[in-house]
Amino acid sequence: MATYFVEPGTIDSHVEMTTWISSTTNGSACNKTESDISHGFGFLAAGVAILLFGTNFAPVKKFDTGDGVFFQWIMCIAIWSGGLVVQQIRKNPQFYPLAMLGGFFWETGNMCVVPIIKTIGLGLGMCIWGMTNLLSGWATGRFGLFGTTADPPTNPVLNDIGVILAVLSAVLFSMVKNTISTEGLDQTVTLSDVNETSPLIQRIPPGTLNGSVHMPKQSEDHDVIVFPKAKRQNKDGSIADSGEVQSGSYIDRMSPGAKRIFGISLSLVSGVFYGQMFTPSIYIMDNYMVNNGTEKVSQEALDYVFSTFTGILATSTVYFLIYAAIQKNQPKVYPRAILPGFVSGLMWSIACSGWFVANKVLSEAVAFPIISTGPGVIASILGVFVFKEITGRRNILMLLLAMSVTITGSILCGLSKKAPSC
C-alpha cells in the first residue's frame, strides 16, 4: 500500500480530500482540484472566444459602415471599455506600457483590411491573413520566438497535423461564395449641396437621389451626415461646384497586377501583426521580475488585457485622426453604426479576453489553431440559417467540408496538449 504525504494547506475540505484520495488508485496521485479544472477552463475560454468572434459583427450586419475607419474607431472605444471592466475586476494590476505594443500590432493589421478587400477581395484576403495569423501566433508559442519561452504541446505530431488542417480549412472557407445583398441596408452618409449653416444631420426621404449616393427605398426615412461639396474658383473669380469628391484613390490608379501584389503583400503583413498581439504580454510574463528580481510578474493573463486594449484604442485614434486629415476634415461618419459598433466591440473584447486565458492555460501552439479557425464555423452557420447569404448545393457542400476539416483540426490540437501530469 502506497503512502501519500500531503503538504498542510493544499487541501481545504473533507470533500476535496475524499476526491483526491479516490484519484490515487493504482499507485498514482493527481490533484484534480487544481490542474484539471484549470485545463478545462482553458477550453471553456477558447469556446467563448470562438462563439463571440464568430458573432460579434452580427449587430452591424444591417448598417452601412462605409470604408470602416469610423466604425473601427467606435469599436476600439468599446474594446477599451471592456478592458477597463476587466482591469477593475482584477483589482487594478500594474499597467505595462510594453503590452500596448500588442494593441498596436492588432490595430495596424486591422487597418490593412479595407485596402486588402479593395485590391484582392475578401475571400482571398481573409484566406491569406487568416493563415498568416494562425502560423504567426502558433510558431511564436511553439518555438519561443521574440524572447518568449517556448511552450510546445505534449504531442507535437497531433499538433502539427491539427495546424495543417486548420490552414487547409482557411483555404476551403475562402472558396465558399457569399451572396451579399444591399437591400435593407441602412446607408447613412452622403454628400449634399449644402452650406456651412445647414444642419449636420438631415432627414432624407426614401429613394431620394442626394449628391451621388442613392438612398434605398425603405419604409422610413434615414438620418444622414452631410458635408458641403468642395468649391473651386473660376478664372473670372466666380465660385463653382467641383462636383463629387474625387473617387480615384491610389488603389484605383494601380494596374491589376500591381493591385494583386499589393493586396497579397498587405495580407501577409496584416496576418503577422494579428498573430503577434499577445507576444508583448507573454514576453512580460516570461522575462519581467519583481521583488528585487526574486519572482516573476503576475502570470494571470487577464492582468495584461487592459494594457493591450489601451494600445488598440490609442493606435486607432491616431489612425482616425490621420484619416480625418487626409479627408481634409471631412471624415465619413455613420451615426446609425455607433451603437451596433459599440456592442460589436464589447463582444470582441470579451472574446479576446477569453483568448488571453486560453493562450496561458493551453499555450499559443494549441489555442491559436483552434480560436483562429473556429469563428469561421459560427459565422458560416449564421450565414446559412440567419442571414441566408450562403446558398446553393456547391457552396453548402464546400462549407460542410471546410467545417469538418476545421473541427477535426481543432480536436487534434486540443488533444495535443494534455492536462498537467498527475
Residue 240: phi, psi to the nearest 5? Answer: -135, 155
Report the alpha-carbon distance of residue 188 to residue 203 in Å, rounded: 10
Q: How far is CA 392 from CA 182, 388, 395, 399, 400, in A?
A: 19, 11, 5, 11, 12
pLDDT of 262 above 80 = yes
Cell 473541427: give the residue.
407
Report the alpha-carbon distance of residue 132 to residue 74 in Å, rounded: 26
pLDDT of 303 above 80 = yes
Cell 450565414: give the residue.
383
- Annotate 36-93 with DSSP letters as a single string: HHHHHHHHHHHHHHHHHHHHTTGGGTTB--TTSHHHHHHHHHHHHHHHHHHHHHTT-P
Tens of pLDDT, residue by residue over 226-237, are: 444 445 555 555
What pLDDT sits at residue 67?
A: 80
Average pLDDT over residues 284-306: 92
Report the alpha-carbon distance of residue 324 to residue 227 in Å, rounded: 13
What pLDDT sits at residue 177?
A: 77
Average pLDDT over residues 253-282: 91
Show the CA angle centred on residue 386, arms to residues 384 and 389, nearest 5°.
Answer: 45
Report the alpha-carbon distance of residue 11 to residue 31 in Å, rounded: 9
Report the alpha-carbon distance of residue 383 to residue 370 in Å, rounded: 20
Give which of 65, 122, 136, 102 is closest to 364, Cα–Cα.
Answer: 136
Across 9-23, 257-271, 331-345, least confident range:
9-23
What pLDDT sits at residue 108?
A: 95
| 239/126: higher pLDDT | 126
Mean pLDDT of the chain: 79
Average pLDDT over residues 31-35: 38
